[in-house]
Structure 1
Amino acid sequence: MARHNLRRILIGCVLVLLTSPAGAESPKNVIFMIGDGMGFEHVKAGRMYVNGDTAPLSFESLPYQAQVTTYSANNSVTDSAAAGTAMATGNKVNNGVISMAYPGDGRELQTLLELYKARGTRTGLVTVDAMTGATPSTFGAHEPSRDNRTQIAGDFLNQTRPNILLGGGANGMTTSAASAAGYTVVTKLTDMQDVDTNVISMLSGQFGSGDYMPYEYDGLGNLPHLSDMIVTALDILDNEPNGFFLLVEGGNIDHAAHANDIARMVDEVAEFHETVQIALAWAA
C-alpha cells in the first residue's frame, strides 16, 4: 500500500486525510471524517473524558487547523443537509437540500464521491447515523429534501453506487433492495467481520432499525462500532490500485447534543477519536 507523504488537514470538526505516493500531484486516497455537530466545547468535554484534559485527542494534534463559517444559503443557522452539501460540493444551498442547486436551477451538484468515482477509484460511506441521514446523503445522493429517505437509498444503490455503505438500517434502506443492486448485505458485527475483504467489493451494512445506531454509552451488542466499520471499509477499498474516497461520520455526537445528553455525547466523541486514530495508523 502506498501511504507515503501523508498530508493532514483539520477544518473545524472535519478531518481529511490525504495519502499519495511520493511525487504524486494529487492524493491517491482520501479519508474525509466528520464529527457531526461537534464544536469546540464538544471536543473539550471529550478530551476531559478521554484524557483528563492532560493530552489532546487524536485529531487535535494535527498540524493544520482552521475555523469556517457554516451559514446556509437561506439561514444563518445551517442544518446537516446544507452543511454536508457545502463540504461535498463546495456550494451553499438552502437548509434541507441534498446536493442540488437550490437556490438556483435545481441541477445535481457533483460531489467529491462522484468526482473520485469518475477517476476510477473505489468509494465508501460510513456512519453511525441512518445510512440515509443527511450527511452521508450529501456525498452520494441528490434530492430536494433530506426527508426523501427512500429516494436517497435509490440514489445510493442505483446512481452513485459507493462500494461501501455502512450505517444504520431502515429509513429507506432495505436488505432486499441492496442485495438486488449487487451488494453483499450484513446486519451484524460478526457477519461484517466474516466478510472476505479480498473478494467482496460491494458491501452494504444495515445495522439496527432505529433512526440511528445505538449510543456507545448504551452498548451496541452485536452491532459494530464506528471504529469497527472503518477497518472493514479500508480493507475493501485499499484493494483498488487507483485509490479511494471514504467518508466517515461520527453521527451520534449530534444526536446526543440535540438531547443535551453530555454523558452519551462524550462517549461518541471518544469513539470518533479512536476511529481517527485507526485512520492515522493506517495512513502512517
Structure 2
Amino acid sequence: FPTTGLSKTYCIDKQVADSACTATAYLSGVKANYGTMGVSGLVTRNDCEAMRNESNHVDSIADWAQSCGKSTGLVTTTRVTHATPAALYAHTANRDWESDKHVLKAKLDPRECEDIASQLITRAPGNELNVILGGGRAHFLPDFVHDDEGHNGKRKDKRDLIDIWKQVKVKQGKSIAYVTNQTDLMKVNTSSTDYLLGLFSHDHLDYALDADLTKQPTLAEMTEVAVKMLDKNPEGFFLLVEGGRIDHAHHENMAHKALDETVEFSEAVRKASELVDLDETLIVVTADHSHTMTINGYPTRGNDILGLAGTSDVDNAAYTTLSYANGPSSKRKDIKRHDFSRDNLSE
C-alpha cells in the first residue's frame, strides 16, 4: 500500500476502545461511548430512551453511499449482527442486543428498543444492503425453528427475518439469493442477482483452521462474490470486509489461530485488489483496536513464532516467544513458573 498511518483508538468514556465505538468512529466519523453503535455521545450503554431519539442517530458511510446511488455490502467472519458490521447499519445503546431475546434479557421492550438483527432487515440502510455475508443465523430465526444444521433460532417474537427479507425483496421485483454454504455461494449468478444474503453458521463462522471448507466459504471467497455483485453498478460501490475472528482468537489467547486468521484477511485484501481497478478504487485496511499479545525476550531470527524464546536468567525455565497480559493464559493460581518446554505451543 502506498500510504500507511496510525490511528488513536478510544471511546468517549473509555481509554481502551471496543469494536462498537471504534466502528462508529470510522464508519460514521463520530466518537461514541463504549458498547454503543450508530449513535452519538449522548447515548450511553443501555440507555434505550436516548437510543430511540433519532436526533441521536448518526449516519454511516452506507447511508452516504446509498444516497449517491452506489451499491453497498458487508462481509464478515463473525455474526453479521456483531459490533463491526452492525455499526454500518444499526443504531443501538448496546452492542449485545443482537436479537429480541437479548433486549428482553435486559428487561426492556423490544418494540421500543429494536434489536440489531431486526434493524438490519427492516430499516435503512441495512435493508438496502445488496450483499450481506457472514454468520449469526440464529438471531434471524424464531426459537422454535431449526436451521439446516439443526440449531434452534433465538428470536422470541416468532418472526423469521430471513423469510421477511425474501418476501420484501420479491415484492419489490428484485432478483435475490439466500445461501447457507460454500457450494451455493459460489454458484450465485452475480451478474443477474440484485440482493444476496448468506448466513453460513448459526453463530460466528469457524476459525479457518477448524472449518469444513466444503461447507463454509473463506473470507476471500465471500469477498470475491461480494465484489462481483457490487462492481456491476456504474455508480460504484462500498464494501465492508471484516476478518473478525482475528480478535476472537486473541481474546482466547490462541496466537496460532489469530495469525492464521490474519493471513485469511490478507488473502481477502489480495482478492479484492485483483478484482477492482486500483486507479478508481480506494482500499483502506485497518484494525479497530489492538490486543496485549507481546513478543518476549530476544528470540533468534527465524525462530518459530509459536515456539520458545529461550530460558530465563532468573529461574532457568523456558518461556514462550508470545504471551498475553489478559485472557485465559494470564490467570495465575500460584507464583510458581510453568515449564512451557513440555507444552504443545501450536495452538
| TM exceeding 0.5 | yes
Q: Return the match for 1:215 from 203, 207, 215.
A: 207
Matched, 1:254 2:261: no
Provide the rounded CA distance (Å) in 1 between the counterparts of 2:165 and 2:34.
28
Provide the rounded CA distance (Å) in 2 between the counterparts of 1:209 and 1:165.
15
- When normalised by structure 2's length, the TM-score is 0.62
Matched residue, 1:176:
163
Provide the rounded CA distance (Å) in 2 between the counterparts of 1:180 and 1:262.
43
Q: Which runs of 5+ in 2 are unaligned?
A: 44-49, 100-114, 142-161, 170-175, 278-347
Indicate if the aligned counterparts of 2:38 and 2:87 stay in contact, CA closer than 8 A: yes
Matched residue, 1:268:
261
Q: Which moved more, 1:168-177 or 1:212-221?
A: 168-177
Provide the rounded CA distance (Å) in 2 between the counterparts of 1:171 and 1:108.
27
Letter in 2 for 1:166: L
- Residue 184 of structure 1: how far off its partner (Å): 2.5
Provide the rounded CA distance (Å) in 1 between the counterparts of 2:230 and 2:220.
16
Structure showing greater radius of gyration is: 2
**Against the structure 1 CA distance between its residues 181 and 153, is the aligned structure 2 distance closer, same or farther, given a 3 Å change threshold?**
farther
- When normalised by structure 1's length, the TM-score is 0.75
Q: Return the match for 1:243 from 236, 240, 243.
A: 236
Q: 1:23-79: CA deviations, max 9, x gaps? A: xxxxxxxxxxxxxxxxxxxxxxxxxxxxxxxxxxxxxxx111111110101000110
**Against the structure 1 CA distance between its residues 171 and 109, is the aligned structure 2 distance closer, same or farther, given a 3 Å change threshold?**
farther
Indicate if the aligned counterparts of 2:74 and 2:240 stay in contact, CA closer than 8 A: yes
Q: Which runs of 5+ in 1 are unaligned?
A: 1-61
- Residue 171 of structure 1: how far off its partner (Å): 4.6
Matched residue, 1:158:
122
Letter in 2 for 1:100: V
Matched, 1:77 2:44: no
Letter in 2 for 1:140: Y
Give the structure with the larger helix fraction: 1
Matched, 1:131 2:80: yes
Percent identity, aligned pairs only, is 33
**Against the structure 1 CA distance between its residues 99 and 242, is the aligned structure 2 distance closer, same or farther, given a 3 Å change threshold?**
same
Matched, 1:140 2:89: yes
Matched residue, 1:231:
224
Structure having greater relative contact order (Cα 8 Å, sep ≥ 6): 1
The SS at the match of 2:139 is coil
Matched residue, 1:68:
7
The SS at the match of 2:92 is coil
Indicate if the aligned counterparts of 2:224 and 2:275 stay in contact, CA closer than 8 A: no
Letter in 2 for 1:98: M
Matched residue, 2:281:
none
Provide the rounded CA distance (Å) in 2 between the counterparts of 1:220 and 1:111.
34
Provide the rounded CA distance (Å) in 1 between the counterparts of 2:225 and 2:93.
32
Provide the rounded CA distance (Å) in 1 between the counterparts of 2:197 and 2:166.
8
Provide the rounded CA distance (Å) in 2 between the counterparts of 1:173 and 1:207.
12
**Against the structure 1 CA distance between its residues 147 and 177, is the aligned structure 2 distance closer, same or farther, given a 3 Å change threshold?**
farther
Matched residue, 1:120:
69
**Against the structure 1 CA distance between its residues 171 and 254, is the aligned structure 2 distance closer, same or farther, given a 3 Å change threshold?**
farther
Matched, 1:205 2:198: yes
Letter in 1 for 2:225: T
**Against the structure 1 CA distance between its residues 178 and 100, is the aligned structure 2 distance closer, same or farther, given a 3 Å change threshold?**
same
Provide the rounded CA distance (Å) in 2 between the counterparts of 1:152 and 1:259.
25
Letter in 2 for 1:215: Y
- Residue 267 of structure 1: how far off its partner (Å): 0.9
Letter in 1 for 2:94: S
Q: Return the match for 1:281 from 258, 267, 274.
A: 274
Query: How many residue pairs align between the two structures?
Result: 222
* Correspondence 1:88-103 to 2 at 5 A: 88-103=27-42
Give the structure with the larger strand fraction: 1
The SS at the match of 2:239 is strand
Provide the rounded CA distance (Å) in 2 between the counterparts of 1:215 and 1:177.
30
Letter in 2 for 1:118: S
The SS at the match of 2:88 is helix
Provide the rounded CA distance (Å) in 1 between the counterparts of 2:240 and 2:17.
20
